[in-house]
Amino acid sequence: MKGLRGVYVVNDKTDEVMARIRAAAAQALTDGAGELLRIANETVPRQEGVLQDSGTVIPATPEGLKAQVGYGGEAAAYAARQHEETTWRHAPGRRAKWLELAAREDGPRIMEWVGERIKAELP
């Protein structure tokens, strides 16, 4: 092809595709955080349910691809101590470090699922 001096992109959809992928990633991360909260709530120390009910997910955004899971609200005064104090006794099936352990035990499975959701959005 004589005279061809470069490649010209007529209809570049890179920005559109990246926006779609980032939106899917934000939703997948938020859903993954919800799954982590669900799992953590299975072992959160429970007396009246205030601590368990205080569990929240801060959603990821396409601009900041990070979702957060935490406990606080009405239980803010004792949530961190309850989480960290490994010498306290809990009802059967309940434990200290419930969120940390849920992330360690189920995090790889959740992140694999998040990755599959994002991959499904790739063109």
27-36, 93-102, 114-123: range with lowest mean pLDDT: 114-123
What predicted TM-score, i.e. pTM, was given to this entire model? 0.86
DSSP letter at 59? Answer: P
CB neighbour class for 49 (10 Å; exposed up to 12, middle 13-18, buried from 19): exposed
Q: Is the pLDDT of residue 1 over 60?
A: no
13-17, 24-28, 36-40, 72-76: range with lowest mean pLDDT: 13-17
**Shortest CA distance to 81 belongs to which of 91, 71, 94?**
71
Helical (H) or strand (E) element with 3: none
**Shortest CA distance to 115 belongs to which of 38, 21, 49?**
21
CA–CA distance, 107 with 105 (Å, rounded to integer):
6
CA–CA distance, 94 with 82 (Å, rounded to integer):
11
Confidence tier at 5 by pLDDT (50, 70, 90): confident
The domain ranges of the chain are 14-119
pLDDT for the residue numbered 21:
92
pLDDT for the residue numbered 3:
60
Q: What are the pLDDT digits (tens) for 70-117?
A: 999 999 999 999 999 999 999 999 999 999 999 999 999 999 999 999
